[in-house]
Structure 1
């Protein structure tokens, strides 16, 4: 009991760091014996993925049902920030790819994958997901469909009795509490995930693509540590880094290891709650961000497409580069509706330069080889930015209303309050 009490007094971030270190040590020293512990990682991710769809469904529905007429939300501002961040990420990726051109070794191995033919097909798939059967949407974790049905049902229940509204709200709170229990298991889950990654995915296959990885990861770090903080600063006129680092620390790290924006939705919900954001807003913005806020995907599409262009010696003018930035942003927003995500949208972008599909699929295969790190960084950037932009829009609204705001002090207070709760 003493050990358990001491453990609970440690912040969740430090607990996750301990789980990470223990996982690496076990995977390196006793890899065969440690493999049996990967079950903890599987259980953790499966639990998050299982609870996330029903959490989103009831939380969004409860937010709309409880919404009072005339009450302002920040959804327009948040969606604008999502789209702006995704476009700027694609544009930065294009600039970096011109400054540091990369040639890749084209490889076979992705011919059996079916990539969408054009942008219309991607957007059409996105729209079809909106009208998916609600039960199927919950089972398949189709968040566009879940959001659509939750909004429709929420509007339909606006005039329901107070008893019905209370039941929906209480059910939503109960699921949120379950999420808190699952997140408490994050250190054990991260340990299992790390053991699986180290023992199963050797790093030797990444060496041939070192330059490509440097450009991919470097661009994502530029967006996370320079571009996004600049967007926050323009909106709140205060030092953005306490909020940026808090989002990376408490959302990005978990997303890095789970490599699933959907699985990280419950984590982001908890973080928004800790930041004291409006539940009616983040209940919708977080699951929506998991589907359309795809800065990392825009970077992946742009960098790998231009890597193919440089490898094949195709000249690129300024106008085409701008079009690629827009195309990458649009495709990234539709990535959640495509099996295989951002990598399978590369042939669509390659078609802009007249690159045939068989060559483009070889680029996809090269992307699959580096996806161990690429997908981790991409998911971490995408997911942590969902909370960052949601908080930014709300802080901007509070400042307009004359409220005194200190991001730095609030971040410190949240860390202290977490220790008090755990204690």
Structure 2
């Protein structure tokens, strides 16, 4: 047994996750009732990540701000611009794909128990109110905009404190980072439980009737991940971007696909940034911020499902309105929560652009929840992996402009 554990631990984490994935699929398809208890592993894994992520972000950001030296530049401006541009381009790709491959839906009963936001102004107001949320409440509810805001303020407040105080904050941050590494080591068991639960609960039959819709949704996300993002990456690093792109998809996108939560994947992304040798002062802020505003997958979901409703109702859409939808879906996506299904509640907001009544739009949301077992997983994988990708290319691009030789290490133990 000891030798077996030694061989198991010698495998890379990705290989161990694939083993857990395969076992979960086999058990869900063959003996779903006898092994239903293994779903607890998935719940524990996601719960542990969600529990530690808010306080990890709080201490990392506070440590980075308090220890920041005057004159040291970060890449946050470039990263935020990449987040916004990437989200808009994803929405634009989804609109173009929806025109090329129009989808119609069979609308049934609405989802009456969920209240969507009333408009873009309401989404922006919610974002601003989250900034001034009670700090304890922000930590409790995993409100990352509020956590970031208070961590920055507190970091600035103790910037002039004694070095021992700053060292204590850094020690807490390092301790939390080590706890995250321990949790991530349990990812194979967690993934096994999550995939078992998804297949055993929802099955694959319910997705067959929405095959064309899923093809457009997933096709757009794959196109953005493997075509649009690499082009953006090449512009910054001026070398083959696929090694970095595929590393982000493998190391970050894989776990995000099964946790279905950008917020839960924050510790995974921070660990990946550390492996890539990125600046801790930058990624400790950019990764949690990306989990909130970098929502390319959400922009795709909003655009595709909204235009599917438009096609179903026979509404004519001109180029100007389609472009406006791309912008609206990007802005709306920035307000999508980093949890499973967060983007679906913003569909009524985009649908209102075409005069679609709220009750019909909520039926589209219902369709979104049906295909969500695949759509939401792929959406989160794209969102979360892109957080790391854009953080990395902004830093590597800065090094290239400074005349440094950029060597991107993507081979990890």
* Band of TM-score, shorter chain: over 0.9
Q: Provide the residue aligned with 1:241 in structure 2.
A: 242
Structure 1 window deviating more from structure 2 (352-361 vs 277-286): it is 352-361
Match status 1:191 vs 2:192: yes
1:47-62 map, 5 Å: 47-62=48-63
Task: Give the CA deviation at 1:367.
Answer: 0.9
Q: Is the 8 A contact 2:206 2:370 kept in 1?
A: yes
Q: Is the 8 A contact 1:49 1:263 kept in 2?
A: yes
Are 1:122 and 1:338, in contact at CA under 8 Å, matched by a contact in 2?
no
1:5 deviation in Å? 1.1
What number of residue pairs does the alignment pair up? 412
Whole-angstrom CA distance in 1 between matches of 2:239 and 2:191? 33
Q: Partner residue of 1:421? A: none
**Partner of 1:370: helix, strand, or coil?**
helix
- Cα distance change on mapping 1:6 and 1:339 into 2, 3 Å: closer
Q: Equivalents in 2 of 1:274, 1:339: separation in Å?
A: 27
Q: CA deviation at 1:339?
A: 9.6
In the other structure, the counterpart of 2:332 is 331
Instruction: State how far apart, in whole Å, the 2-side matches of 1:367 and 1:37 are.
Output: 27
* Structure 2 unaligned blocks of 5 or more: none
- The answer for the alignment partner of 2:159 in structure 1 is 158
Counterpart position of 1:177: 178
- 1:27: which partner in 2? 28
Instruction: Please name the residue that 2:323 is paired with.
Output: 322
Q: Report how far residue 400 of structure 1 moved.
A: 1.1
The question of 1:118 aligning with 2:116 is answered: no
In structure 2, how many angstroms separate the alpha carbons of the residues matched to 1:287 and 1:185?
A: 22
Q: Shift in Å at residue 117 of structure 1?
A: 0.9
* Secondary structure of residue in 2 paired with 1:146: helix
Aligned counterparts of 2:290 and 2:281: Cα–Cα separation in 1: 15
Matched, 1:402 2:395: no
Matches within 5 A, 1:20-419: 20-336=21-337, 341-407=342-408, 410-411=409-410, 414-415=411-412, 418=413
Question: Normalising by structure 2, what TM-score?
Answer: 0.98
The alignment's C-alpha RMSD in Å is 1.1
CA–CA distance in structure 2, aligned partners of residues 194 and 339 of structure 1: 15
Distance (Å, rounded) in 2 between the aligned partners of 1:13 and 1:208: 32
* Distance verdict in 2 for CA 1:396–1:377, change over 3 Å: same
Is this contact kept in 1: 2:341–2:376, CA < 8 A? Answer: no
The runs of 5 or more residues in structure 1 that have no matched partner are 419-423
Deviations 1:76-100 (A, max 9, x none): 0000000000000000000000000
Cα shift at 1:340: 5.1
User: Is the 1:305–1:349 Cα contact (8 Å) retained in structure 2?
Assistant: yes
Distance 2:89 2:44 in 1: 36
Deviations 1:8-29 (A, max 9, x none): 1100000000111111112222
Deviations 1:340-374 (A, max 9, x none): 52111111111111111111111111111111111
Contact 2:263 2:339 in 1 (8 A): no
Q: 1:285 to 1:199 in 2, by over 3 A?
A: same
Query: How much does 1:107 deviate?
Result: 1.8
Task: State the distance in 1 between where 2:269 and 2:338 align.
Answer: 21
